[in-house]
Homo-oligomer: A and B are copies of this chain.
Amino acid sequence: MKPVLDKHHIAEAFRGLQDEICTGLSKADGGTPFQEDNWQRAGGGGGRTRLINGQKIEKGGVNFSEVYGKLPPQAAQSLKVDSSSSEFFATGVSIVLHPRHPRRPIIHMNVRYFELDNGVCWFGGGIDMTPHYVDLKQAASFHQKLKDCCDQHHSDWYKRFKKEADDYFFIPHRNETRGIGGIFYDRLSPGYDGKSLAELFDFSLAVGRTFLPCYVPELDKPITHTPTEAELKWQRLRRGRYVEFNLVWDRGTKFGLTTNGRTESILMSLPPQANWVYDYKTEEGSEEAETLAMLKKGISWI
């Protein structure tokens, strides 16, 4: 008999997802182990933050959390939910990896589930890629994998969630997308497109399981040349943009930092190093200029 799906099963599956992903990444990084930091939340619950400082991944975090308790009024306001619904439960897996080599892309994945004791609940998540240098073949392959994953669940979802990612992973003050986008979805509650809680959960888990097939091939690519100074400089500037997006525009980061979340787990997304140069201009016709020209919304990468 299939067990009834509830928040504990969802959290358990996300915990398993974290294990699966860490195992896969360790292997792809030549066996580098993750360091684990177990933490408790004063109001209820806690998490397992796992860090890697490896051969190919310079700074990476794979975080699992399962938190619950009284919903702080600030959080209720920010989530636009009834604050009289006093008990919440939230669980998720969140990943950001900053590779050493500028020719490998930064990647982000997140799947999360949120529930209130009044029955309101939803899934959210997504995967997006931020190459320092846009590579059309890589972009097509990445988006194809996301499309294949979405298509298994609903024929409209790739198109819809790809657009959501273009809109979400956007830096208005730079008029640039963060990278080549991916998929992003939020507040998928039972009934969304006729889907049950179990079906939405299956989709979120499938998104989580698409992470390794998206990124392990990037780590496996035989990129062996020592990065040039120009490549490293560009990487540090692009990392600066990553910082700008996360600290100024990312709703999850803002939510965490303003509702007394665990700062170190939230900011594990920041790069090891970032640089800023006043009014930096790329050289006309350069690879860097070509990348910038492709950091736009609405590109069909496939």
The distance from the CB of A271 to the nearest CB of chain B, in whole angstroms, is 7
Q: Is A51 an interface residue (CB 8 A)?
A: yes
* Majority secondary structure of chain A interface residues (helix, strand, loop or mixed): mixed
A56 vs B191: C-alpha distance in the bound complex, in angstroms? Answer: 62
Q: Mark A63-97, 1 if CB is under 8 A from B, else 0.
A: 00000000000000000000000000000000000
**Complex contacts, A243 vs chain B, CB 8 Å:** 243, 247, 274
**Complex contacts, A264 vs chain B, CB 8 Å:** 278-279
The distance from the CB of A277 to the nearest CB of chain B, in whole angstroms, is 7
**Complex contacts, A37 vs chain B, CB 8 Å:** 279
Q: Mark A262-275, 1 if CB is under 8 A from B, else 0.
A: 01101110111111
A263 vs B261: C-alpha distance in the bound complex, in angstroms? Answer: 29
Which residue of B has the minimal Cβ distance to A276? B270
Interface residue from B51, B273, B277 paired with A275 (Cβ < 8 Å):
B273
Known: A243-B243, A248-B247. A274 touches B273 (CB 8 A): yes
A261 vs B115: C-alpha distance in the bound complex, in angstroms? Answer: 39
Q: Is A225 an interface residue (CB 8 A)?
A: no
Q: Mark A212-246, 1 if CB is under 8 A from B, else 0.
A: 00000000000000000000000010001001100
**Complex contacts, A258 vs chain B, CB 8 Å:** 172-173
Would you list which residues of chain A between 270 and 294 have a CB under 8 Å from chain B? Answer: 270-279
Which A residues are closer than 8 A to B by beta carbons?
A: 37, 49, 51, 59, 61, 172-174, 236, 240, 243-244, 247-248, 254, 257-258, 261, 263-264, 266-268, 270-279
A-B contact pairs, 13 of them (CB 8 A): A59-B278, A172-B257, A174-B263, A240-B270, A243-B243, A243-B247, A243-B274, A247-B247, A248-B254, A267-B276, A268-B278, A273-B274, A273-B276
